[in-house]
Structure 1
């Protein structure tokens, strides 16, 4: 039986599973996970513990169609996850100064939130994958794959982490409406873009591209020599943690 205290009902009628640590600090850390991932992973556990030790508010949640949240993955899309992120953040981190951490797909969603939230004081991308539904999926798909998706059926895309990603029309169409790499956004807060040199899922160039879309005088691209796409090794996490605390204390 699920604990209702750990679920948030959004305006799109999804029951969103979340984890939240409340502190007296004026700063709140929001973590956004990657595609087909959830909040049970190493990064969430590490960052939540770090926030507890440093008395920072912390919020993470499963996107609809992921983890313990409601919804069917094949019927969800970027537009849904942006809406959910905005609503649960406005509820749980109301009046807080927010540091966004976005992993892979979450990096895209987190970047979109910069247009929608006014109280952001920092952004950390981890193997960020902005506009991936267009450039890493749709534009690389065969004519047959595109026909399958356009007809409303599910295309099974091979994955390095699971057997396949079930790609539906909602993911592709939702992505088209939220593309950001052609835009520019001035940010008056620190931007940090972590990327592993051994990432074979999202090319490093996407962190560079995002750093041109999001502009700040305090912007750094941080490459992890031995890092893969997940950037979940102890060394990766320690470096991410140090950067997070520097932003929080600045």
Structure 2
């Protein structure tokens, strides 16, 4: 499959990856930088924030790409085979094969981790970065330290525990956590000189806002701004939150 610059239909399309799975994506092409949406853990590309940016792209005239990682949404796949490194490769497949020119990358929750990895892997392609409740290294910084005794016992005894709170229960294996260790980013400073904007809700009960502060401190560049929304939750999908999101994207496009 090749990219067709003349096809602006924002509908599901598929890219056959080097790993052999068909990656579902949607794309709007236009002049100027392309906005790349990197969604969160167990979310898909049809979520509220991604759709708002797609509508914005249609009206404002900029490129926009969103996709579903392996094991997510329309891409599907065996969840037991999902790994952080596989999702990292999914991002590179999209960037290298479905985009051209400068990118404005917007990472939400786990997509924030994917964004930091892309800042390492393809820094020269990135014009600016926006984060929404970013969760870099969530496996080892947030998830493992907060396991309850039953989950910790299950992980130790059977090599997996079941995580609730999603549309369907999610099995999390020790193999997943072991592989994720190879992609942690907080061990060394993240070098990036372009503009970085972070939105984080102070009522986020999934990724604490202190994690957003830690990320801001971790990035080496000076043009880093963190906006804390006092009544904001993890999703940041209320009308005022979405206004902040679209304003952030427009600022990064114009930077």
Q: What TM-score results when the alignment is normalised by the length of structure 1? A: 0.91
Out of 18, 24, 37, the position equivalent to 2:25 is 18
Hey, what does 2:8 align to over in structure 1? none
Q: In 2 relative to 1, CA 5–62 (structure 1 residues): closer, same or farther, beyond 3 Å?
A: closer
Q: Deviation per CA, 1:69-117: give whole Å up to 9, x if none.
A: 03122320211111000111111112x1101100000000111000111
Out of 176, 181, 190, the position equivalent to 1:185 is 190
CA distance in 2, matches of 1:170, 1:247: 37
Q: In 2 relative to 1, CA 177–143 (structure 1 residues): closer, same or farther, beyond 3 Å?
A: farther
- Whether contact under 8 Å (1:76, 1:170) holds in the other structure is no
CA distance in 2, matches of 1:137, 1:14: 27
CA distance in 2, matches of 1:128, 1:42: 17
- Structure 1 gaps, min length 5: none
Hey, what does 1:63 align to over in structure 2? 69
Alignment of 1:73-222 (within 5 A): 73-94=79-100, 96-117=101-122, 118-141=124-147, 145-146=151-152, 148-149=154-155, 153-159=159-165, 161-162=166-167, 164-222=169-227
State the secondary structure of the residue aligned to 1:125: strand
State the secondary structure of the residue aligned to 1:53: helix
- Whether contact under 8 Å (2:12, 2:25) holds in the other structure is no
User: By how many angstroms is 1:174 displaced?
Assistant: 2.6
CA distance in 1, matches of 2:178, 2:210: 23
- Whether contact under 8 Å (1:123, 1:190) holds in the other structure is yes
Q: In 2 relative to 1, CA 71–21 (structure 1 residues): closer, same or farther, beyond 3 Å?
A: same
Task: Kindly report the root-mean-square deviation, in angstroms, between the aligned alpha carbons of the 2 structures.
Answer: 1.9
Q: What TM-score results when the alignment is normalised by the length of structure 2? A: 0.89
CA distance in 1, matches of 2:33, 2:227: 23
- Whether contact under 8 Å (2:12, 2:26) holds in the other structure is no
- Whether contact under 8 Å (1:182, 1:213) holds in the other structure is no
CA distance in 1, matches of 2:158, 2:76: 21
- Whether contact under 8 Å (1:180, 1:213) holds in the other structure is no
- Structure 2 gaps, min length 5: 1-10
Q: In the comparison of the two structures, how many residue pairs are matched?
A: 244
Instruction: Determine if the alignment matches structure 1 residue 223 to structure 2 residue 218.
Output: no
- Whether contact under 8 Å (1:75, 1:168) holds in the other structure is no
Hey, what does 2:13 align to over in structure 1? 6
- Whether contact under 8 Å (1:32, 1:106) holds in the other structure is yes
CA distance in 1, matches of 2:241, 2:196: 17
Q: Deviation per CA, 1:134-158: give whole Å up to 9, x if none.
A: 1212233356634644666541123
